[in-house]
Structure 1
Amino acid sequence: MQQQSDKIIRLQGKVQHYAWGGAEFIPGLLGISNEQKKPFAEYWMGAHPSAPSELISSKGNQSLYEAISYHPVTMLGEKVYQAFGELPYLFKVLDVKQMLSIQVHPTKEEAEKGYDAEEAEGIPLNAPHRNYKDRNHKPEVMVALSEFWLLHGFKSKAALEKLLSEVPEFNVFLPYFKKAGVKALYQLVMEMGQAEVSALLATLVKRAIRLKQEGTIDPSHPAWWVAEWYAYQPEGADIDRGIFSIYFFNIVRLSPGQAIFQGAGIPHAYLQGQNIELMANSDNVLRGGLTSKHIDVPELMKHTIFEEVVPEILNGKTVLPGETVYPCPVPDFGISKIELNSGLSYTSRAASLEICIVTDGGALIDNSLVLKRGEAVAMLPGAEYTIYASGPCTIFKAFVPGGSSDVE
């Protein structure tokens, strides 16, 4: 039988230095210096084999991936192990300074087909042109830590008609859109030759840069993001066809504490800001622009939902004093925000492997484990714990809904 103290373990994540990341937020969160101004894009907390977190204890450190491999039922709980065979989520902190690629994630069924097909073709897992790195889907939820901007799904038919009428470079597409619809329109621009894309959008890009410099547009306008993208591109670079998506997709602004869920088939792109992100444990991304990585337009088209989307902004639901849960329509993961102050504590029993990270203030767990801002902890199934705070404190918790807590 495990002692209670063995079920609550400090966790140290892994930083990913992708080029689009900022240089200050994540180092500030983690309390580390970054004199070289390296980009700190993501902080991973989970058991993904490419960058597993470390369990930190007096008995020595251990990879979370290895710990789960050696003791799956103890680490995950019986129900989670039987359902998934692994930790089914990956928990992250993101700092988006430069916008991310236009992308879509496949369903689990399509991911299995795509992975098996690429395996049969003998495409190495680390090949730049590989689309499917695993057999899993990649639904994701994000909670804004700052003002956060993203693209999410196609605009309504009426909004697209208005756009095609008002943007001079897009006027030529209006009759075709009215006749053939959004899928045909998107396929047309995504399959257009590069020379034609550059010729069509050159004036649009110049105008966008001028309008942003003049201060006559703000981030709610697509041109603002076009100008933002080209602030980081080399002189004379080809014009990216991802610009069409900036105009055709909904531009969404989230305030701190607001969330949005993105399921399979919803085209999207993060634009700017900091967030907490939780996703299925997968790295399957189909890209369509605004990136130097592999773009596969036919595969992107195959998995995209070509329907108008009204973005659903989640404010969360209070389930316990101090705890707000953001409902997600998948069995792989759940997320909640715990906000405490002096006099208010939070008591729970882990029903799955839970990961908690402090994003503001500090916390005390069971009067024995102190967590400062940026520090994380893993709660093993069956762990009973109480979190206290002497002042304002914010914690985000990742878990598996309905997980088993029958592990001793």
Structure 2
Amino acid sequence: MDRLANTVRPYAWGSTTAIPELLGTTPTGEPQAELWMGAHPGAPSRVDRGDGPRPLGDTIADAPEAELGPETVRRFGPRLPFLLKLLAAASPLSLQVHPDLDRARAGFADEEARGIPVDAPHRTYRDANHKPELLCALTPFEGLCGFRDPAGTAELLAALDVDSLKPYVDLLHAQPEADALREVLTAVLVADHTAIAETVHAASAAAERLAAEDGPHRDAYAAYASIARHYPGDPGVIAAMLLNHVRLNPGEALYLGAGVPHAYLDGLGVEVMANSDNVLRCGLTPKHIDVPELLRVVRFESTEPAVLRPEADAGGEEVYATPVDEFRLSRYVFAPSSETPATLPPGAPQILLCTSGTAVVRAADGTELRLRGGESAFVRADERAELTGDDATVFRATVAV
């Protein structure tokens, strides 16, 4: 059982205040976008078992079956298969999609065979793994998730009354769903830069106007206008208009599977994902966009965003159900002065993250760790532990095996 020392990633889209407020630290004035908890080599958590701080991945490598459990090692190898994060967005992240496992393996092998360095800016696949993810809101949270049905998008675009958008409206009306979505997204991504920038400016101005009026897409127009202010002239603004606009209340979550285009726009949340860096971008970024590969990966089908709410079991654990094995996210909500402990099942690795109040993790030998907002702990698979809290919320990330 170890307290984790974690690294903040200062991406430009990050909030300057959300993570410091949770941690109870003084803001630096710089963006603090993500706090990583896990063994990802990009920013591994560190643990100290008496011989100084070490990356969690190195500690796991010393005794993988004790740290992860035999079943986790059998399924995923001698590495922690998930990454837990605090994500604090103050401006939109890139519009993106993640590959499934087969496509990730094939794409990684192809780029390896072609000798493209893993850290090259034009590299698409950083590893051979898929990257399903789950985002649970800690504050009101805003995002885009999945394609809206073509008829609804045609209505939204037509109301902007921009001449250069009318061919897209016609395609959305005339073609079968998958063909319509593919043709419109492709047209946006390969359009002449000057021409599409003019379209974006006109569409953005219209979205600003419609966001101030009552109408069925008012919130979506406001979101697209905000995106355009952050990314003026970016083709991704039009691509974003193809997607559902979503608002989450605290405690609600979104699951993002392979091929589903999405973007986080604003808010603080807990995010858990398979341990992968594979991201294919569709826009809202200065980074490389691999259009042919993107079109292979995107699922061209409309979806209604499935907002997840946790389901509580008899022991008080509230679970966010997802269809993947690499991670399982749940939470415990303790009343003020609660003395009833929650038993944490052994046999798999666990990361505990306190997001409010004060929690105590107690091992079988009586050892205790006290966690406050933003603090986290790693519980190895062969450790038996209990969790208590005082007006506290604690998220538990583990594997679903």
TM-score normalised per structure 1:
0.90
The equivalent residue for 1:364 is 360
Identity of aligned pairs, percent? 36
The equivalent residue for 1:172 is 167
Pairs within 5 Å for 1:124-135 = 124-135=117-128
Q: 1:69/1:218 Cα in 2 relative to 1: closer, same or farther (>3 Å)?
A: farther
Structure 1 distance, partners of 2:148, 2:381, is 43
The answer to whether the 8 A contact 1:326-1:335 is kept is: yes
Look up the SS of the partner of 1:221 in the other structure.
Answer: helix
The equivalent residue for 1:207 is 206
Structure 1: state its 5+ residue gaps: 1-7, 403-408
How many residues are paired up?
388
**1:297 paired residue among 286, 291, 302:** 291
The answer to whether the 8 A contact 1:225-1:246 is kept is: no
In the alignment, is residue 73 of structure 1 matched against residue 65 of structure 2?
A: yes
Pairs within 5 Å for 1:2-401 = 8-35=1-28, 37-85=29-77, 86-169=79-162, 170-180=165-175, 181-209=180-208, 221-233=219-231, 239-341=233-335, 342-366=338-362, 368-389=368-389, 391-401=390-400
1:148 Cα deviation after fit: 0.7
1:216 Cα deviation after fit: 7.1
Q: Deviations over 1:268-305 (max 9, x none)?
A: 11111111000000000000101111112221111000
Look up the SS of the partner of 2:331 in the other structure.
Answer: strand
Residue type at the aligned position of 2:166: N
Residue type at the aligned position of 2:174: K
Q: 1:220/1:320 Cα in 2 relative to 1: closer, same or farther (>3 Å)?
A: farther
1:315 Cα deviation after fit: 0.6
Q: 1:343/1:20 Cα in 2 relative to 1: closer, same or farther (>3 Å)?
A: same
1:220 Cα deviation after fit: 5.4
The equivalent residue for 1:5 is none
1:154 Cα deviation after fit: 0.5
The answer to whether the 8 A contact 1:14-1:51 is kept is: yes
1:163 Cα deviation after fit: 2.0
Look up the SS of the partner of 2:360 in the other structure.
Answer: strand
RMSD: 1.9
The equivalent residue for 1:4 is none
The answer to whether the 8 A contact 1:220-1:251 is kept is: no
Structure 1 distance, partners of 2:330, 2:137, is 13
The answer to whether the 8 A contact 1:350-1:382 is kept is: yes
The answer to whether the 8 A contact 2:156-2:217 is kept is: no
Q: 1:166/1:230 Cα in 2 relative to 1: closer, same or farther (>3 Å)?
A: closer
The answer to whether the 8 A contact 1:151-1:249 is kept is: yes
Structure 2 distance, partners of 1:215, 1:22, is 29
1:260 Cα deviation after fit: 1.1
Look up the SS of the partner of 1:99 in the other structure.
Answer: coil
Residue type at the aligned position of 1:347: T
Q: 1:210/1:175 Cα in 2 relative to 1: closer, same or farther (>3 Å)?
A: closer
Look up the SS of the partner of 2:307 in the other structure.
Answer: coil
1:218 Cα deviation after fit: 11
